[in-house]
Amino acid sequence: MSTYSSEAIQLQTNDGVIHTVDIRFALQICPVRNIIMQERQKNLYTDDVIPLPRVDAKNLRFIIKWWTSVQDLEENLPRMGKGKLIQLLTEENANHQFLLQIILAANYLQMDNFLLITTNLLAEALNECKCVEEIRKKFLGN
């Protein structure tokens, strides 16, 4: 009998990059979790790569990095997860356009905790804007 903690799953992003991830992370992704559970119910344990057609490698790498840094926080996730997100965005020198990209990826992956934290950060950034022009500059780079 295998344990979840020692298993790995391969995920392929839309730009062809294959990521080998811990199953605990893979189970946070609703479409992937559904595939894994269906295989388990049928006693199938394939090593097939699971495609993620709406996520690119850069976004998935970032999400994996964030999840790895917060996976043990549980009840402190909303507060601490936001702090880690801000820290990682700063380290990546990411702009608001990147934040929008990872929000779209989190929505597609149905990672509710990450989606909640990223959209709250987006809402705070929007609230700081005084006019539509300021929003355009922040999020569209125009």
The sheet carrying 18-22 orders its strands as 18-22, 8-13, 50-52
Calpha distance 114→121 (Å, rounded):
11
> What are the DSSP E strand ranges found in the chain?
8-13, 18-22, 50-52
In this structure, how many other beta carbons lie within 10 angstroms of the beta carbon of residue 13?
20
pTM for this model (two decimals): 0.87
DSSP characters for 60-76? Answer: HHHHHHHHHHHTT-GGG
Q: Is 51 exposed, middle or buried (0-12, 13-18, 19+ CB in 10 A)?
A: middle
Q: How far apart are CA 60 and CA 21, in angstroms?
A: 11
Tens of pLDDT along 46-105?
Answer: 678 999 999 999 999 999 999 999 988 777 777 789 999 999 999 999 999 999 999 999
pLDDT of residue 1: 34
Q: Which domains occur in the chain, in start order?
A: 4-140 (3.30.710.10)
CB 134 within 8 A of CB 108: no
- pLDDT of residue 2 exceeding 60, the answer is no
First to last CA, the chain: 56
Q: Assign 3-state DSSP to the chain and report helix, strand, coil percentages, each to 5.
A: 65, 10, 25
